[in-house]
Amino acid sequence: MTKTKWGLTLLGAMDLILIVMHFADYFILFLKPSGYLIPLGINIVVLSVIGLRSGFPKILIIISVFVSMPIILFYVFMILLLDNNYTKIDSPYNRQSLVIEYRHATLGETTYFYNFYKTMFGFVGKRLDDQSITMMIPARDHPFGIDAEGALGLGNENWITANAVRFFTWQGMKDVYLNSSQSSFDQDNTKKVIEEFIKMDKNKEDGQTIKVNGNLLTIRYDRLSNQNWIEVTNKNDKGAIPRQQCSRIMPNKEQGFYVLEECTHQWEYPLYPMTE
């Protein structure tokens, strides 16, 4: 096999592997910050060299490179615009790690975006599609000095099992599962519990409790005034929402959260996402 055929074979194999990995949500992690810029550059260089060695007119090769440059520059612009950052946290249980991709966008309010990748050896990562987190913080509620890392609670995370990491985020505790089936089950179960609790609150079932994101929610009902409310408590005052009283829990489809409303310290608190 000639050098030209070897070059085309290796280049085709590289491209095929990257395409298959992309559609299977697997990624070579060291390529993530620059996207597919390096493979695109390799393709242009290798094809140009092969074209020259094969006797292609130089003018056609120059035109091809010139035409591809705007596409490359646009791709670079999109990468810079997204401004993704990456960090890795290692599991204390085994060689498994969690890679976090995060960025933010500000337009009146600040929205933080987080994607997660599980990896065994830090080279190839599997994207956890159903684990992505988005947090929107209104300008009026935005804590001074908080950034994307602070909003997620990076540095204070806790591996609660070998396949689950708990983050103490600005919007409460959020668990990221490296096992997707476990994640879906726990999320669906929590939503069912909250829906049932909302029904019990409407029926004024005094003393009924649930625990969500480190907060213990208890229905209180005063028969004399015929008033009911939700008491929010947490162990050692370390819950996601400060100890206080709220009037009710309501599903807020605009925010995409079950929301505690008319609370003592502020009007509302996001309690738990309605969808993931």
Residue 244 is predicted with a pLDDT of 93
pLDDT tens sequence across 136-162: 888 777 767 788 999 899 988 888 777
Q: Please state, in angstroms and rounded to a whole number, the distance separating the CA atoms of residues 162 and 165.
A: 8
Cα 135 vs. chain centroid, distance in angstroms? Answer: 9
Residue 124 is predicted with a pLDDT of 92
Residue 238 is predicted with a pLDDT of 63
Tens digit of pLDDT per residue, the chain (276 long)? 677 788 888 989 999 999 999 999 899 999 998 888 999 989 988 888 888 877 778 788 888 888 888 888 998 898 888 889 999 999 887 778 999 999 998 877 889 999 999 998 788 999 998 889 988 888 777 767 788 999 899 988 888 777 888 888 887 778 888 876 555 666 778 888 999 999 999 999 999 999 887 788 999 999 999 999 999 998 777 666 889 999 999 998 887 788 999 999 888 888 887 764
